Amino acid sequence: LSSKFSGIFEGMSKRGLLSEADVSEAMREVRLAMLDADVALPVVKDFISRVKEGAVGKEVLDTISPGQAVAKIVNDALVESLGGAGVVPLSFNAAPPVAILMVGLQGSGKTTSSGKIALRLTAREHKKVLLASLDTQRPAAQLQLAQLAEQAKVACLPIVSGQPPLEIAARAMDTARREGYDVVILDTAGRLSIDEALMAEVGAVKTLVNPHETLLVVDAMTGQDAVNTAQAFKAAVGLTGVVMTRMDGDAKGGAALSMRAITGTPIKLVGSGEKLTELEEFYPERVASRILGLGDIAGLVEKAAETIDEEESEKLALKMLKGKFDLEDYAAQLRQINKMGSITGIMDMLPGMGKLKEAMSGKDIDTSILDRHLVIISSMTKGERKQPDIIKASRKKRIAAGSGTSVQEVNRLLKQFNDMSAVMKRFNKLGIKGLMRQGLG
């Protein structure tokens, strides 16, 4: 999706006039790209007509190009369709213990997300959290949650074998009340597909514990199926939010877009990997810019801030926002990538990294490419690193020889760097810096 979007607005901005034809042409591309990304057809149609309405006949300010104006309108409409600006937080506005009920199909990531949420609430909000597994369907399910709880250093309700889900739920709430827990997270069993027995079980638990949040966990990679699942759960038991997992995969936000537009249920959290720390807030602005191929700069900065020291990340953020970074900064980024966990996750967020990722896709991500880039950069002079433009043929040969690579590899690195710079510059011109700053705050 993103690579398609990237080209559209550039072409327009060269023409200097925003005609109805321009808008229609751009929207044709946008439509195809959205369908490609598995956005549901009615959502696409609604989106396109809304954007057209907003774009045609609108005066284009002198200070921005027509392409930028349309890009801004598309971006704003995307944000709107994804639920409007800002994050929808988990709600704890009730007397403790507050229950969070995790529901969804088998394998969607309920147990993992339960552990992730428990860790987040404990570490960031200093809540006293109790985890409890009501999954009596799969033999090792309760043990799986107990292990995650241990990893997260969060309490887990002791397993009593043979106890049915409703009794476990009652025991969890009793324990929480007696022992002064703030939050109880109830992980439930799933089925391979929606069936009445599943809904009845979830419904009974819900009636018993009266949860403050009923969170549906869905796999972003399942696209339209995730939306159908949400519709069914919403109708049968009611939902207060969605946790969308596997956003670290190829899903480019299409499922998130349909989910919000069709079910109206806010996406509250996003799973971005298998590790317990890989849970993020859902920022519509970021997903919109990711769909637009601009890269999730704010998300990257946030992730970086957690891993590297703050001063360093602030410098990085500033440089990124100004679009003023050189090969030394690029090298610094590469070094940090290893510290930050999932490389694919990071690359999705770095503007212009899409192509590098594509080049590596299909195989296991080859971290040696990043290492080689580092070696190549270390074979450059300081001047070359600060001003990559001066690296012409003879310098390339010297750098290739010095780093034990080839001129082709040096070229590839420079191309990657230039792509990244170009996207960052464009990103700044779009004037959605303010939006990103909000995300940073």
Q: Which two tokens stand for residue 431?
A: 């004037």
Q: Which residue is nearest to ligand GDP (CB)?
A: 271
Query: Which residues from 158-217 bind ligand GDP, rule CB under 6 A?
Result: 190, 217
d(CA 100, CA 132): 10
Which one of 65, 81, 108, 111 is in contact with Mg ion (CB under 5 A)? 111
Q: Alpha-carbon torsion 160, 166, 167, 170, what sign?
A: positive
Which one of 76, 248, 296, 384 is in contact with ligand GDP (CB under 6 A)? 248
d(CA 59, CA 66): 9
The single residue listed with the structure tokens 């939006």 is 435
Closest CA to 354 of 410, 406, 399, 289: 289
d(CA 435, CA 441): 10
**Secondary structure (3-state) at 145:** helix
Partner in contact with 273, chosen from ligand GDP, Mg ion, none, beta carbon below 5 to 8 Å by kind? ligand GDP
Q: Residue 25 or residue 274: which is nearer to ligand GDP going by CB?
A: 274
Partner in contact with 313, chosen from ligand GDP, Mg ion, none, beta carbon below 5 to 8 Å by kind? none
> Please, what is the minimum distance in Å from the beta carbon of residue 132 to Mg ion?
12
d(CA 183, CA 128): 6
Which one of 25, 274, 312, 326 is in contact with ligand GDP (CB under 6 A)? 274
Q: Which two tokens stand for residue 28?
A: 């044709």
Closest CA to 50 of 77, 21, 24: 77
Query: Which residues from 94-133 bind ligand GDP, rule CB under 6 A?
Result: 104, 106-112
> Please, what is the minimum distance in Å from the beta carbon of residue 167 to Mg ion?
19
Listed ranges 24-32, 105-113, 228-236, 290-298: which one lies at the site for Mg ion (CB under 5 A): 105-113
Partner in contact with 120, chosen from Mg ion, ligand GDP, none, beta carbon below 5 to 8 Å by kind? none
Which one of 254, 273, 341, 352 is in contact with ligand GDP (CB under 6 A)? 273
Residue 193 main-chain phi, psi, to 5 deg: -145, 170
Contact string (CB under 5 A) for Mg ion, positions 55-94, x = contact: ----------------------------------------
- Contacts to Mg ion by CB under 5 A: 110-111
